[in-house]
Homo-oligomer: A and B are copies of this chain.
Amino acid sequence: MAEPLPDLIEEIVADNGSDDIQAVAEQLLPAEDVEIATLLESLPVEERMSLWQVLPDVRKLDVLVEMRSDPREVLISATPDDKWSAILLGIDAEDLLELMDSLPSKLLDLAIQALDEQQEAYFRDATQFPDEQVGHWISHEMLVLPLNAKVRDGLRLIRRNVPDHCDSIFLVNRSGHFSAAVKLTSVFGAPEHLPLVELTEESMPVIKGTDDSTTASLLVQRSGYAALPVIDDNNKLLGRHDILSASELVNENYERQVMATAGMDEDEDLFAPVAKSARNRALWLGINLLTAFMASWFIGLFEATLQQVVALAVLMPVVASMGGIAGSQTLTLIVRGLALGQITSANLKALMTKELKVGGVNGVIWALVIGIVAFMWFSDPLLGVVICLAIFLNILAAALAGVVLPVILEKLKIDPALSGSVILTTVTDIVGFVAFLGLGSLFLL
């Protein structure tokens, strides 16, 4: 890019709609699509629209493909109908698979019509797979030869055109079944008449179209190859999964996890329209409100106690907070373990024992610290004992819930990264308040 991203943002926002936007657009011509996409995402809506309008139509499709859905949809809905046939010129199946969820049905039809016959077939094939399966994301640009091809055929093919991130030729039999892969670099030194099959890479893993897209992508990243072949259940070669799409899918999966901790998704737009953004976030606020009211209801059971021992009300946040933090530490560790496939019924018991022990150690230490502080603050030894016990119990409950909850959610096919923390803090809030106020009612009245 001509200038770094922050400078461009500054320039555009400072100009604010003056005709210099045209100059910025010209500067952007040598930039990569993904850089322009990131720039557009970084701009307030008005400036985003101005830049979008002056961007050459031939770049628009590739830039849209690189954007997150929410900001992308803002631009799509602001683009007049008569522009689309120019924008969709030269669209291929992979572009459309990225865009399809953002396009209103009228535009989707238009886009499908813009595909050539081959690309439309690829598009139909890919949509057979839901987007959590790798078959949805495969590339069809690959080097394929029949099983009996010779080195000289390989060389001829390579000289014609090698796609990015492609380091192998795939050999198929007459029915199109995948048989073997040969690295381009083995082809070069070899005698021209040698059958390619004698250069087979024995260790290349093969992916099934129905494999989970994140798992398959991690496999590609680890394999040492630029791309792996993707086959269907009958061993027919469907396409390949290259390390660039693999990295994009892995990154997206991580971003999803990070955003899920706050109840958002990875497509959230920095400059979403206020109404849309408010609506996106309202659900999460509502769910958390329900759980907060639930905690309040449990506190309400002890109104009489609170009236007499107001120190309990003062210290409630401490009990809730310690449980919440301890629980979220265990939860985060277990959620990662589940994502990496490291947690099974076999090691779950050992894991629970370990987390309970860790909770026990930290429980005892912090319970004592907090008990002593509370005793000194309110000059009430019994209050110290009550909070000490409540903290200990709550940290243990947090450890238990932190292990068990995500495992149960995963079994129920609910994403533990999204819903784990809200359920966990509900548990620790309620256990904490009931233990603290309950023990308080017993000992302090």
Contacts and interface: CB of A to CB of B under 8 A. Distances in A.
B318 A316 contact: no
Given A41-B342, A224-B164, A270 B5 contact: no
A263 interface: yes
Contact of A38 (B9, B248, B342, B345): B342
A365 interface: yes
B350 A262 contact: no
A13 interface: yes
B369 A329 contact: no
Contacts of A429: 317
Contact of A185 (B162, B296, B307): B162
Contacts of A292: 317-318, 320-322
Contact of A285 (B5, B248, B263, B362): B362
Interface stretch (A80-88, A89-97, A250-258): A250-258
Nearest to A164: B224
Contacts of A10: 344-346
In the A-B complex, the 3 residue pairs with the smallest Cβ-Cβ separation, listed nearest first, are A254-B254, A313-B313, A159-B189
Contact of A310 (B264, B307, B328, B333): B307
A32 interface: yes
A268 B358 CA distance: 13
A285 B366 contact: yes
B268 A295 contact: no
A9 B333 contact: no
Given A247-B250, A258-B332, A284-B329, 12 more contacts: A9-B342, A261-B332, A262-B328, A271-B350, A274-B361, A281-B362, A285-B366, A286-B366, A292-B322, A296-B318, A316-B317, A317-B433
A222 interface: yes
What copy number does this chain have within its complex? 2
26 contacts: A10-B344, A13-B346, A155-B188, A165-B224, A167-B167, A184-B184, A221-B248, A247-B247, A247-B250, A257-B258, A258-B258, A263-B325, A263-B329, A270-B342, A271-B354, A281-B326, A281-B329, A281-B358, A281-B362, A285-B362, A292-B318, A292-B322, A295-B317, A303-B314, A306-B306, A316-B316
Interface of A: 4-6, 9-10, 12-14, 32, 34, 38, 41-44, 155, 158-159, 162, 164-165, 167, 184-185, 188-189, 221-226, 243-244, 246-248, 250-251, 254-255, 257-259, 261-264, 268, 270-272, 274-275, 277-278, 281-282, 284-286, 288-289, 291-293, 295-296, 299-300, 303, 306-307, 310-311, 313-318, 320-322, 325-326, 328-329, 331-333, 336-337, 340-347, 350-351, 354, 357-358, 361-362, 365-366, 369-370, 373, 429, 433
A153 to B, nearest CB: 14
A369 to B, nearest CB: 7
A329 B291 CA distance: 17
A34 B155 CA distance: 34
A268 B42 contact: no
A264 B335 CA distance: 13
B244 A6 contact: no
